[in-house]
Chains A and B, each alone.
Chain A
Amino acid sequence: METTETVHDRIGTARNDHTTAQLALVFALVATLAFTLLFVQEPLVHDSLHNFRHAVGVTCH
């Protein structure tokens, strides 16, 4: 039952069901998306995301 499940069990289930590579891929995907949206300083990308960063409230220029 769900109520008796712990965080530790969830980690165990994830490790049993998926390979380390698969799990790393998921985390890498999230990190890449975050990095691209917020921290890329490449001028073209950075500037075209300008309004978006203002709207989200994380502007850094």
Chain B
Amino acid sequence: MLVDYLERGVLAGAIAGIAYGLYVMLVANPLVGYMEALAEGAGGAESGHEHAHAAEHAHTAGEHAHAAGEHAHAVGETTTAVVSIGSGVFWGILLGTAFALAFYFLEPALPGRGSVKGYVLAGAGFLAVSGAPWLVLPPTTPGAEQAYTPTIRIAIYGGLMLAGALIAATAIYGYRRGSTRSRPLGLCLAALPIVALAAVTTLTAPTIVESGAIPGELVTAFRGLTALSQAALWVLVAGCFDRLQTRARAHSSTERRVDLTTSSRS
């Protein structure tokens, strides 16, 4: 049974991943490239930290000398583009597999009927993987300056993923407890921990990401696009999974009926 779930999860993830790969190819790649050029242009004019950042990049990549103010990469633009598209597909497969795994174990505990369960889990997944961490570490635009070292930031991100998962679990628990009395009460109880998390992080968390030379509107648009595309990916994973699940169930029930009729005839 677990294998069936995983199979559907990988397939649903692959479908969603192909869609996401297309998004990376058609939207994200050109946009990141454009914003990178923009950040470099402004950084060159200011001749400030951007240069040091590029130098650091070249250093870690084991590359020597780079043109003044140019963002040096260890690999070419084409490779980056192709690999980014491919990893978009893998990202979908990863989320699909993780979704199926979690869905298999948590399905009985999720609220809602039928396909609603899947979407609830997808929402929880979005909150844990992206939503909660973004409250402290918003999607970084190219050329952004960030505080702390990557190791510390990875730890913060991981901690927030855990917090997001806990908040999602609390919200679902709240809904289940509250909805036994009334649905609106359940929804209010479910919203409570999420709102609390958002309030606490906006009030207390330090600003880690400094978007630098990129215009504020572009940063907002980029973050909105990132958030929406991730949310869409989760919805697509849950939607495809649900369709595959329904189809498999219908298939197996007709098979059983055929079996029954043939065995009763013989």
> Please, which residues of chain B bring their CB within 8 A of the CB of A54?
28, 32, 139-142
Is A24's beta carbon under 8 Å from chain B? no
Contacts of A10-44 to chain B: CB distance below 8 A? 10-11, 13-14, 17-18, 26-27, 29-30, 33-34, 37, 39, 41, 43-44
B226 lies within 8 A of A52 (CB): no
Pick from A30, A52, A56: contact of B97, CB below 8 A: A30
A14 lies within 8 A of B105 (CB): yes
B151, closest chain A residue (CB): A60
Instruction: Identify whether the interface residues of A are mostly helix, strand, loop, or mixed.
Output: helix
- Shortest beta-carbon distance, B7 to chain A, in Å? 12
> Please, which residues of chain B bring their CB within 8 A of the CB of A60?
146, 150, 153-154, 157
> Please, which residues of chain A bring their CB within 8 A of the CB of B200?
none
Interface centre among A41, A49, A51 (most CB of B within 10 A): A51
A11 lies within 8 A of B108 (CB): no
Is B230's beta carbon under 8 Å from chain A? yes
Contacts of B55-112 to chain A: CB distance below 8 A? 57, 60-62, 73-75, 79-81, 83-84, 87-88, 90-91, 93-94, 97-98, 101, 104-109
A56 lies within 8 A of B230 (CB): yes
A10, closest chain B residue (CB): B105
The 10 closest A-B pairs by CB, nearest first: A57-B139, A55-B28, A51-B84, A52-B84, A48-B83, A47-B74, A57-B226, A59-B140, A52-B87, A43-B61
Instruction: List 30 A-B residue pairs with CB atoms under 8 Å apart, sorted by A's residue number.
Output: A6-B108, A10-B108, A14-B105, A18-B3, A26-B2, A29-B97, A33-B93, A37-B87, A37-B90, A37-B91, A41-B150, A43-B60, A44-B74, A47-B61, A51-B80, A52-B24, A52-B84, A54-B139, A55-B24, A55-B28, A55-B229, A56-B130, A56-B230, A57-B139, A57-B140, A57-B230, A58-B139, A58-B157, A59-B140, A60-B146
Q: Other CB < 8 Å A-B pairs besides A14-B2, A55-B24, 8 of them?
A: A10-B105, A41-B150, A43-B74, A44-B74, A48-B74, A50-B32, A51-B33, A58-B157
Residues on A lying within 8 angstroms of B by beta carbon are 2, 5-7, 9-11, 13-14, 17-18, 26-27, 29-30, 33-34, 37, 39, 41, 43-44, 46-52, 54-61
